[in-house]
A = this chain, B = another copy of it.
Amino acid sequence: MMSTTVSRTPKTIRSAMSRSTPSTVTVFGQDLVAMLGTVNLGDFAYLELFKRLPDERESTLFNALVVTLVEHGVTPSAIAARMTYLGAPESLQGAVASGILGLGNTFVGTIEGAAKICQERLPQSGADRISADERMSDEQINALAEGIVAEYSTDKRMIPGLGHPVHKPVDPRAQKLLRLGRELGFDDSSSRLVEALSRIASERSGRVLPVNATGAIGALASTLGVPAHVARGLGVMARAIGLVGHLLEEKADPIATTVWNRIEAEVSES
């Protein structure tokens, strides 16, 4: 198959992420050894995404966003991980991977969707890149939201990041995250946009449609400058942690066999 490779440009294999010498390790140019004991896991995750460490308020907001995503109880992702652990207890990594595989369009998709709206509809996004003069007025945000709600209504699509079966009339996590962003002094255009969408969509539909956790995370990730397509990555890194927790509980107080037995019994009676 030589012709394949001859016709393709020979490229150098490079990576700027990490370097080692006998006495040093650097990650994105930072001295890893110096960071041990001073940088927390969330800040190091920020370094992996942004190639620099966060300042204090970026650290606070970023950690809050990912912490929100770690633990959501016995979700489909946690059920898959526990089922896999039952079959392959020798391979904790396989059970976590099994759970991560469910973090796709259905669940993490709403974070991505909310982030996309913020990043595509607002003239500028990304932390602090907007001067006070450039900030959109509430009237402008409202007009933008009116248009988006009308558009989604015409297409009979749900606006991502709104509504929750349990958390109403407000989702306390969303409320806290949005307040945190403001208290830390971040530009709140994205936050105002999702709040306007919630208000207008609720009025139009006559339903209670609060900004939910994924809507707030989508908006604030946009504020921090996380590209929409990486929103999924925030979920993946957070839930890897939560899934390890679920497997510890599964080992101590297992439910997988019971779930399986019940399903099998019901299927065989059908």
Segment of A62-70, A123-131, A152-160, A185-193 in the binding face: A62-70
CB-based contact B100/A240 at 8 Å: yes
Segment of A113-121, A132-140, A196-204, A258-266 in the binding face: A258-266
- Say yes or no: A267-B73 contact (C-beta < 8 A), given A90-B91, A246-B17: yes
Choose from B44, B93, B258 the contact partner of A236 (Cβ within 8 Å). Answer: B93
Minimal beta-carbon separation of A186 from chain B (angstroms): 13
CB-based contact B264/A180 at 8 Å: no
Chain A interface, >50% SS class: helix
Oligomeric state, in copies: 4
- Say yes or no: A14-B267 contact (C-beta < 8 A), given A90-B105, A101-B95: yes
* A143 in the interface (beta carbon within 8 A): no
* A146 in the interface (beta carbon within 8 A): no
Taking CB atoms, residues of chain B closer than 8 Å to A18 are: 71-73
Identify which of residues 245-260 in chain A touch chain B, using a CB-to-CB cut-off of 8 Å.
Answer: 245-249, 253, 255-260
Taking CB atoms, residues of chain B closer than 8 Å to A1 are: 20, 73, 165-166, 264-265, 267-268
Taking CB atoms, residues of chain B closer than 8 Å to A107 are: 87
Minimal beta-carbon separation of A96 from chain B (angstroms): 5
- Say yes or no: A241-B80 contact (C-beta < 8 A), given A15-B73, A263-B13: no
Identify which of residues 6-65 in chain A touch chain B, using a CB-to-CB cut-off of 8 Å.
Answer: 7-8, 10-25, 27, 32-33, 35-37, 39-45, 48-49, 59-61, 63-64
User: Could you list which residues of chain A lie within 8 angstroms of chain B, going by C-beta atoms?
Assistant: 1-5, 7-8, 10-25, 27, 32-33, 35-37, 39-45, 48-49, 59-61, 63-64, 66-68, 70-77, 79-81, 83-84, 86-98, 100-108, 165-168, 170, 172-173, 176-177, 180, 229-230, 232-233, 235-238, 240-242, 244-249, 253, 255-270
